[in-house]
Amino acid sequence: MKGSEISVYVHIPFCVRKCLYCDFNSAVQPDYIIDSYINALLTELDLKREAFVSRQLVSVYIGGGTPSSIPPSYIRLILERISSYIPINDDTEITIEINPGTTVDHKIGDYVACGINRISIGLQSADDEELKALGRIHDFETFLHTYDVVSNAGIDNINVDIMTSIPHQNKESLVSTLKKVTGLKPQHISAYSLIIEPGTPFYQRGAVNLDLPSEDESLEMDRKTREFLDAAGYKRYEISNYAKKDEKRDFRCLHNLRYWDRGDYLGFGVSAASLYGNRRFTNIADIGPYITSPGRQVSEDLLLSPDDAAAEFMFLGLRKTDGIRLLDFKEEFGTDIKRIYGHIMKKQVEKELAMFSGEGDEERFMLTDRGLEVSNIVMSEFLR
Ligand code: SF4
């Protein structure tokens, strides 16, 4: 069944204002550009419709940018166009990213009506000073209102994004954010560390001028986040992602799991990446040329060799806390995983950065908590 499944990512590269740390492909744009862009997106969907034939749609993720900054009628058009090429059924996870301060009250009814069943809210911090330092447009009160609007609309799969290692943040303010967020009982929480990316105002200002937590404090904050969320009933299932899970329902994000499990997905819009039958390609980042010839120009187009695909299987799969199932590797690559990576796996286990668990067909290999902390170093071993 897995081979026929597919996911869709749609990139909405518009924001109300650019945050000071942001290096995503997003910008403030006039209405006529937004309109042309949505038309281009629809054209790209038309162009690639053959890719949906005989496929089952697992998930749609409308990300950005700030998808809630544009009229919801555009979101409806996109979902209608997708469903004209591939059935959207009750099990299809349809996520939209929204940001507080984008008049979600007037949009939520449309989101629900067009089938959106998961909403991801960009909070980042419950401390107004920290939000201000990040250049966000909202304060915590505005977030609370947005959260109420979303949950009162009957959305029962809500993610809240928070951030660690942000200017002025300390352990106390982080714990306060965690308390306030978990008190709302969202089903999913993502917690990322701030990274100062080149080309951003933060980068230009220089890390030393930003009142950032030290490296040790940052590590401590990440540990605190894990402990706190675990105690509050959120199971960590990937380096930065936590979800509620019980016998009735599993709130891990299906869409993101597709990325880590290397399932096929198609990305639409500027900078959108795709993996389709071992071909990885990424649309161009410039909005002008994209609007002129949507989906025809790529910035990267790679046909993965079996070795490349196997390395990806390892470093993407090991992002998940339950790691990889050895049998899955054998089924996908026709050879025993230990024959290819046995020496690296053994080395990581000896360093206590990884471990095996389970037996027989259910044997798995995964990183330990310490291994997840230094995951970049561990995973780079599989790229050699
Ligand atoms: S809202 Fe998100 S995408 Fe938009 S500028 Fe801020 S961080 Fe970037």
Q: Domain residue spans in the chain?
A: 2-258, 305-384
Decide whether 2-258 matches 305-384 in CATH topology: no
- pLDDT, tens digit, for every residue of 33-92? 999 999 999 999 999 999 999 999 999 999 999 999 999 999 999 999 999 999 999 999
* CA torsion angle 296 5 192 124 (round to 10): 80
Q: Is the CB of 69 under 6 A from ligand 1?
A: no
Distance from the CA of 307 to the center of ligand 1, in angstroms?
A: 36
In residues, how long is the chain? Answer: 384
The structural architecture, per CATH, of the domain 305-384 is: Orthogonal Bundle (1.10)
The answer to whether the CB of 42 is under 6 A from ligand 1 is no
pLDDT of 266 higher than 70:
yes
Ligand 1 within 6 A of 124 CB? no
Q: Kindly state the tokens that stand for 90.
A: 């009750």
Ligand 1: residue whose CA is nearest its atom 8: 22
- How many CB atoms lie under 10 A from the CB of residue 62? 26
Ligand 1 mean position, distance from CA 66 (Å)? 7
Instruction: Provide the 8-state DSSP code for 245.
Output: B
**Does any ligand 1 atom lie closer than 6 A to the CB of residue 102?**
no
Q: Which atom of ligand 1 is nearest to the CA of 99?
A: 1
- Ligand 1, residue 21: give the atom nearest the CA: 7
Query: Do 29 and 287 form a contact (C-beta atoms < 8 A)?
Result: yes
Instruction: Specify the CATH number of the domain 2-258.
Output: 3.20.20.70
Share of the chain above pLDDT 70, in %: 99
Residue 44 in tokens = 């790209």
Check whether 180 has a pLDDT greater than 80: yes
Q: With a 6 A CB cut-off, is 64 part of the ligand 1 pocket?
A: yes
pTM of the entire predicted model? 0.96
**pLDDT value at residue 13:** 98
pLDDT score at 382: 86
